Amino acid sequence: MRRRLIAGNWKMNGTVPEAISLVQRLKLLVSDVQDRDIAVCPPFTLLDTVSKMIIDTRIYLGAQDMFWEEKGAFTGEISPLMLKEFNCTFVILGHSERRWIIGETDEFIAKKVESAIRNGLTPILCVGERLEDREAGKTKDVVISQLEGSLSLVKDPESIVIAYEPVWAIGTGKPAYPKDAVDVISMIREWYGSRFGKDKAEGVRILYGGSVTPSNIDDFMKESEIDGALVGGASLNADSFARIVKYLL
């Protein structure tokens, strides 16, 4: 049985006082949760603050991105070693906002994924199609292309999480229906099995992300194929995020 994961992506939000207030309340609200993993992924500026606050809790820390080199002349970038210094467990890579706004390529993301694994971090690799891709019937082609490109350098896939995040559902309030998510996630697992072996495919956690809220999380998590959620805006409110963490409880 794959252990489910609920991860909150704060994106470019939060000051130190806001982070302290959010995490203090979140710790209280989820202190009794034991049968699933919880992660928060604040901006780089808040990693130190949040890292200290979640010591001796069941909450894991994640970052929102990283560069593939460990150090060097890469102005503005953050290395995997820097993330480990703050006790990060996860790092989000290939998010659609990085792909479509910043312009990151699959080749670029592949280097980050390989570096994260090599440095003891668990990548949360995001894949997903745009609305025009879906309407053109290209969802499978786009998602598989992203998987093949972004995982091209991975030889040992023991430590990896995949998040299916349809771009048209992110931040729009229009989530995919659970059945739509299951169809794509099942396809991802099938591809993963053909690439790395059936046993690896059965073990990899595949999350859904895109307008996940307290009101729809239960419907998604009733599906055994969905191993958790990557939550955006709703993770910025401790009560909302805690309700998502406590789906079906």
Using CB atoms within 10 Å of the CB of residue 61, give its burial: 0 to 12 exposed, 13 to 18 middle, 19+ buried. buried
Query: Which of 70, 77, 95, 148 is the catalytic position?
Result: 95
Q: What three-state secondary structure class fits 31?
A: coil
Is 30 buried (19+), middle (13-18) or exposed (0-12) by CB count in 10 A? buried
Give the span between the Cα atoms of 14 and 186, in whole angstroms.
Answer: 35
129 catalytically annotated: no
- The answer for residues whose C-beta is within 8 angstroms of residue 177's C-beta and 6 or more apart is none
Catalytic-residue membership of 95: yes
User: Cα–Cα distance between 231 and 147 in angstroms, integer?
Assistant: 21
Catalytic hit among 97, 114, 129, 165: 165
Residues known to be catalytic: 95, 165
